[in-house]
Structure formats: C-alpha cells, structure tokens
Amino acid sequence: MARDSGYNTKQRELIKAAVKGFGSKHFTVDELVANLHSNNINVGITTVYRSLERMAQQGMLRKFASVEGKSACWQYIESPGECSNHFHLHCKECGKLFHCECEYLDEMGGHIMEHHGFAIDASATVFLGVCEDCNKTNQHI
Amino acid sequence: MARDSGYNTKQRELIKAAVKGFGSKHFTVDELVANLHSNNINVGITTVYRSLERMAQQGMLRKFASVEGKSACWQYIESPGECSNHFHLHCKECGKLFHCECEYLDEMGGHIMEHHGFAIDASATVFLGVCEDCNKTNQHI
DNA sequence: TTGCGTGCAAAGGTTTTGCATGGCA
DNA sequence: TGCCATGCAAAACCTTTGCACGCAA
C-alpha cells in the first residue's frame, strides 16, 4: 500500500473522506467541491486539484481524460486492481458514464497488444457512443 | 452527400481547402490556423471553430474529443464511411495517433451493442495507452 | 525550526458568445 | 433587400502557477 509521503493535514483528510464517499462512482472536481460545501467544509480549489493529483499518483484514485471540453473525471479505487479490467462507456447524448465489466474486453486488450503492439490503458480509455435509452429516444432521427 | 445549407463564402472555401490539405491526417485548430497563416490567409479564429463544427455536422469532418486539456483533434473524411470501422490509438507518451483497422474491433462493437445495448461511435472513440516504441523506451520504469 | 501544504489571486489555454459589420443570393 | 456569415472583443471554463502565510513533524 502506498504510504503518504508528506504531512497529514486536515484538508487532505477531508478530501479523502469525501472521495471515499463517492464509492466507485466517478466524480468531477466540481461535484467534489459541491459535496464538501454541502457539509459546510471549505477547501481551496487549488488544494483539491493538488490533492487529487497526489492521490492519483499514489494509486488511490483514477483520473479520466476529459471529454469534449468537459472537466476531468476522478474515481476512487476501493480495492487495488479494481476497474483495471473494465472500460467505460460515455454516452454522447445524456453524458452518463457506464462501467462495462466484460471478459470480451480483456481479450481485446490482449489482441491489440499482440497484433498492434499497443498497450491499452483501460482505466483512461473511454468509449464514446450512444446508450440504450438515448438510442430508443433518437430512433426517428 | 450533404449539401451546404448556407452561403458559400471565401472563408469557408479557404478553410475547406486547408482541411483537405491535411488529407487523412488529424489536426488541431492551432495547426489549421498556422497552415492558413503560412499561406498568408487570415481567417478569424471564431470562423474556424464555427466552420469546423459545421463541416463535422455535415459529415465532412470528424471531431475527436480532447485529451487531458489538450485541444480537440479534427480529421478530414476523404471518402464517406472511411475510418468508420476502425479505431484510433492515442499514445499517452508521444502523442501520436494510430489508425487501427481490424476485424476484431468490428466484432467488439457488435458485442457491446448486443450485450450492453451501447452503440459505440468508432469514429469518435480513442483508445488511450502506450505505443510499441514508447513501451520499449519505458520498460525500466 | 524546517520545509511542506494551503489558498488567494492571477495567469494559462481552449472554446464559446454578443454584437455590429460585411457579404451572399 | 433579407438573412446568414464574419470577426473582434470579451466571457466562460477548467486547470495551473506564483507567492506569502500557516501548520505538521
């Protein structure tokens, strides 16, 4: 387990607690700050960014690339290795993020590594498309 | 083929020509503007953004989500349907974009549609990872 | 005491919007 | 003429950086 290399401060504890509160659900910096505010906790946005980045480096958090100018998403890693084998489906219509746990995708990673020499970072890769619900809604278009 | 719905203006022609000049190579707004400048063409950045967005809607262009605060990438679609059946691999290390034509990935799209009800937009999806070359370089890390 | 952590303010970069002017049809 | 397109300026947005002060060890 990665140990904290620096000091233990009140802010870090508060941020860590809030992050854990999201469980395996992904969140943005905005959502995290809103969550803190709703508990009457005020932490500088700078500190939030720096803490998240630090936690990501320690392997406690996963950072998703931003999509289409939207802000980056973060996700707490409840157990080490968790989510490393699943991909994320991001719906272009409703913006929802789906977790997709599937052996097929494991295979795919292996295939791409073997045949194309490319090591896919599943935790950072986001599939863009349209989810089931939005598909139904938009069938007439 | 999608027809222009609006007027034909000099700027649109110039932008379209520059875009075609990139062939199937992806480019950013910055690169496009630099390209125009090197030909002594000055078009407002606003117009560039609006034109690209319009061309993308007409199916003449493909827009890639921005990655990690980097600016968005665009790609000219030389022939309709081109690239619609292949994915793109974006190397986190060197930033190169690889085209990956592969039946396996077609299957995968089908699988995800069947089993997860999610319609993947291959043309917009970018796999993040590390390419062969960078992998070799970083093996000691 | 030492030096890392915090947070305000400001800068950074990309993209969008308001609005008056310009140009196509 | 009527409406769409243009482009300047400014805003919007997310994120990072500089710097002085505060706090953990």
The pLDDT tens digits of the residues spanning B45-75 come to 999 999 999 998 888 888 876 555 667 788 8
Q: Do the Cβ atoms of B118 and A129 come within 8 Å?
A: yes
If one compares A37 and A129, the residue with the highest pLDDT of the two is: A37
Nearest-CA distance B126 → chain A (Å)? 7
Residues facing residue A126 across a β-bridge? A88, B126
Distance CA B91, CA B136 (A): 13
Strand blocks (E) in B39-85 = 61-64, 73-76
- Give the nearest partner residue to A127 out of B125, B129, B132, using CB atoms: B125
Point out the residue among B69, B116, B121 whose CB comes nearest to the CB of A128.
B121
Residue B127 and residue A128: Cβ atoms within 8 Å? Answer: no
The encoded tokens of residue A20 equal 């854990």
CB spacing of A131 vs B117 below 8 angstroms: yes
pLDDT band at A80 (very low <50, low <70, confident <90, very high): low
Q: How far is it, in rounded angstroms, from Cα A130 to Cα A108?
A: 21
Choose, out of A28, A52, A116, A134, the residue to mutate when testing the contact with B (most B CBs < 10 Å).
A116
Look up the protein residue whose alpha carbon has the minimum distance to the C1' of D23: A9
Q: Which of A63, A93, A128 should one mutate to test binding to chain B, selecting the residue with the greatest count of B CBs within 10 A?
A: A128
Window from A11-15, B23-27, B78-82, B108-112 with minimum mean pLDDT:
B78-82
> Among B24, B36, B31, which residue's Cα sits nearest to residue B97?
B24
Strand D bases, protein C-beta under 7 A: 4-9, 13-18, 23-25
Token pair 């960078």 is found at B134
CA A70, C1' C14: Å apart?
Answer: 12
List pLDDT tens digits, range A24-67.
788 889 999 999 999 999 999 999 999 999 998 888 888 876 55
Could A128 and B69 be called an inter-chain contact, meaning their C-beta atoms sit closer than 8 Å?
Answer: no
Which of B72, B124, B132 lies at the smallest CB-CB distance from A128? Answer: B124
Residue with more model confidence, B64 or A69: B64
From the CA of A69, how many Å to the C1' of C16? Answer: 11
Question: For chain A, which domains are there?
Answer: 10-81 (1.10.10.10), 84-141 (3.30.1490.190)
Q: Are A55 and A61 in contact (CB under 8 A)?
A: yes
Q: In what order do the strands lie in the sheet with A73-76?
A: A26-28, A73-76, A61-64
Which amino acid residue lies closest to nucleotide C8, measuring CA to C1'? A44
Q: Among all residues of chain B, which has the CA nearest to that of A69?
A: B66
Mutate to test the interface with A, among B96, B112, B113 (most CBs of A within 10 A): B112
- Nearest-Cα residue of chain B relative to residue A135: B119
Indicate the average pLDDT of chain B.
79
The confidence score (pLDDT) of residue B1 equals 44
Q: Nearest to residue A123, comparing CAs of A91, A94, A97, A86?
A: A86
